[in-house]
């Protein structure tokens, strides 16, 4: 069985100050390697504590490492060190999760007017994860996400288990229900999961790649997403060299 941990960057464009994007990043972990990955994550967090003084119980939130908000712990660490911490995390992810895969959904809100961006992105993620599971053989999977809109996700997921119109080479569409994902999405606060915090780092660094900010270029933040290339699920789409689903 596989577990996909999901976090997001941006928002679905529901208000005037919305971000220009909505990103979902899913970190797919085999149950057989879960203990190995957790052991490595714990060792990495110990090294972070020794190097930067960040307690192992303190949540790593990529956006605030770059632009600190109300987090007093982050305020006590210089910006250059916070970004160095983020670089360390990005560099270690492919080694910690050497047998895992990453699926990324990156939707530009302006390209989909009059569209429910949240639903669009999650449908794409459900579909790609289900396809991945089917290609592994008989494996099933579950999804664990940061606290999000559980009832909406339940509705989308249950609809797709029954009716999921999919483009066909031979006809316009055929029904391909997602039947390899078990149960509704499990919600868990990110502060209690190193795995979800890792998905947060991936999602935010994809945002920084897609929408680089001039003031951060001296730190090379926009280049950090490329560190994940060895474990990106490039087979998720043929239309992007890194497998990023954009439509």
- For the stretch 62-93, pLDDT in tens is 999 998 887 889 999 999 999 999 999 999 99
Closest CA to 66 of 190, 224, 194, 195: 224
Question: How much is the average pLDDT of 156-167?
Answer: 92
Distance from C-alpha of 30 to C-alpha of 46, rounded to nearest angstrom: 24
Per-residue pLDDT for 165 more than 90? no
Residues 103 and 132: beta-carbon distance below 8 Å: yes
Question: How much is the average pLDDT of 184-210?
Answer: 96
DSSP letter at 15 equals S
Pairing of β 141-146 and β 186-188: parallel
Per-residue pLDDT for 131 more than 70? yes
Per-residue pLDDT for 170 more than 70? no
Residue ranges of E strands in 32-122:
101-108
Closest CA to 58 of 67, 48, 66: 48
Per-residue pLDDT for 137 more than 90? no
Closest CA to 200 of 25, 40, 11, 17: 25
Q: Which fold has domain 2-236?
A: Nucleotidyltransferase; domain 5 (3.30.420)
Residue 164 backbone zone (phi > 0: left; psi -120 to 50: alpha; other: beta): beta
- Sorting pLDDT into bands at 50, 70 and 90, what band is 228? very high
The sign of the torsion formed by the CA atoms of 134, 184, 117, 210 equals negative
What is the C-alpha radius of gyration for the chain, rounded to an integer number of angstroms?
18
Q: What is the pLDDT of residues 1-26, one digit of tens each?
A: 999 999 999 988 766 667 889 999 99
- Sorting pLDDT into bands at 50, 70 and 90, what band is 169? low
How far, in whole angstroms, is CA 5 from its chain's centroid?
Answer: 7
Burial of 202 (0-12, 13-18, 19+ CB in 10 A): buried
How high is the pLDDT of residue 20?
86
- Sorting pLDDT into bands at 50, 70 and 90, what band is 39? very high
> Poorest-confidence range of 116-120, 146-150, 164-168?
164-168
Per-residue pLDDT for 47 more than 90? yes
How high is the pLDDT of residue 196?
98
How high is the pLDDT of residue 16?
62
């Amino acid at each position: 069985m596989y577990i996909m941990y999901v976090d997001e960057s941006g928002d679905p464009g529901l208000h005037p100050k919305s971000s220009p994007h909505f990103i979902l990043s899913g970190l797919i972990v085999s149950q057989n390697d879960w203990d190995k990955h957790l052991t490595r994550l714990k060792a990495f967090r110990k090294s972070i504590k020794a190097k930067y003084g960040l307690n192992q119980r303190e949540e790593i939130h990529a956006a605030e490492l770059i632009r600190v908000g109300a987090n007093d712990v982050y305020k006590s660490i210089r910006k250059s060190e916070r970004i160095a911490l983020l670089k360390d995390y990005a560099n270690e992810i492919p080694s910690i999760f050497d047998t895992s895969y990453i699926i990324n959904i990156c939707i530009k809100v302006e390209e989909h007017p009059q569209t429910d961006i949240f639903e669009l992105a999650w449908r794409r993620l459900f579909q790609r994860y289900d396809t991945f599971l089917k290609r592994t053989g008989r494996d099933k999977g579950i999804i664990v996400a940061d606290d999000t809109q559980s009832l909406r996700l339940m509705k989308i997921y249950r609809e797709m288990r029954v009716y999921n119109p999919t483009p066909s080479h031979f006809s316009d569409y055929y029904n391909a229900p997602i039947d390899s994902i078990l149960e509704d999405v499990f919600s868990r606060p990110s502060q209690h999961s190193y795995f979800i915090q890792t998905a947060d780092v991936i999602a935010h660094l994809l945002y920084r790649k897609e929408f680089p900010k001039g003031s951060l270029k001296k730190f090379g933040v926009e280049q950090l997403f490329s560190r994940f290339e060895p474990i990106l699920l490039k087979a998720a789409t043929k239309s992007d060299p890194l497998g990023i689903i954009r439509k």
